[in-house]
Chain A
């Protein structure tokens, strides 16, 4: 999917830029984006170290397990392929908590850790499992209690009630999360190959995928 999207993005951007005479903008954008990526990644190295380290501490202290036990029922439904007591449960729980609290720089590293745990369950296959897709979709739906950056921008724009949008944000996030869960479950069913016909069209699934 990303292969197709990437080609479409580059192709349509470059062709349109050439046709409308914006070749200079496109060229500049192309070159400046790689240094921007390095800057972002360097910031990420620090955040990744910090939160992976703290995550390890929390794991050893049993906090991660406790959090995972709390969310057990929900996880059975969302991630049926994750075995009971597997570290992925805790990693997912930590990642969702960070999202919810809006811990900005912490949310991405913790999400990556959880995705890697899910990938381990999937035998580190290059094909995503249903659980990995579900995790990605819920994470991208971004359930956040306090959208701090947006509130600050509203305040700077002279709002008399910057935080007045919070209930609306909650409802919209809820709608997008629930829709995402339904879409992920429904599309997983469509994309799956019935076991008795065997794998045919390149979407070869592992046994762990079929369980859910």
Chain B
């Protein structure tokens, strides 16, 4: 059922758009090509932003910084109720999508998907986003140089959500 819903979502949206447009007399294909041209331009504009961000993230991952931070923060984190198995994911999640997905897939088989830890890890992954990458791409596409409080507000939001995830999973354990 879940599979069907998530798989059917895109075709259903496309069908709705195309049929409605056709009924209302929109030159559907012409409009599509017009919009697509603009999309292609935007995508190429983003390429340099992506190269920069991914290079920064890759260097961080390769350097072992996350392992080191995990070691340093383990004690204080456990004091406020964050299990050490979850700490690496908390640290990497806002910065690297591929690294956090890799870490998650590996951790979940180790702790078991239906344990408290497994459910907390899943909830964190399901309810958060690679904040830094998302903001860099969006603001990069709009040619914004000064993002003001966007990164700060997003990190606050992201950590509030991830801590809430751990808390909820602990209550309903």
Contact = CB atoms under 8 A, between A and B. Distances in A.
**Number of contact residues on A: which range applies?**
35 or more
A128 B39 contact: no
A81 interface: no
A108 interface: yes
B2 A50 contact: no
Given A12-B60, A33-B54, A187-B153, A112 B134 contact: no
Interface stretch (B70-78, B79-87, B165-173): B165-173
A52 interface: yes
Taking chain B's interface residues, is the majority helix, strand, or loop, or is none over half, making it mixed?
helix
A150 B153 CA distance: 25
Taking chain A's interface residues, is the majority helix, strand, or loop, or is none over half, making it mixed?
helix
B50 to A, nearest CB: 4
A132 B144 contact: yes
B40 A128 contact: no
Given A6-B56, A136-B147, A173-B161, A55 B68 contact: no
Interface of A: 1-2, 5-6, 9-10, 12-14, 16-17, 20, 22, 25-26, 28-30, 32-34, 36-38, 40-41, 44-45, 47-63, 101-103, 106, 108-109, 111-113, 115-116, 118-119, 124-128, 132-133, 135-137, 139-142, 144, 146-151, 153-154, 157-166, 168-173, 175-177, 179-180, 183-184, 187-188, 190-191, 203
Interface of B: 2, 5-6, 9-10, 13-14, 16-18, 20-21, 24, 26, 28, 31-40, 42-44, 46-47, 50-65, 68, 95, 101, 104-105, 108-109, 112-114, 118-119, 122-129, 131-132, 134-139, 141-154, 156-158, 160-162, 164-165, 168-169, 172
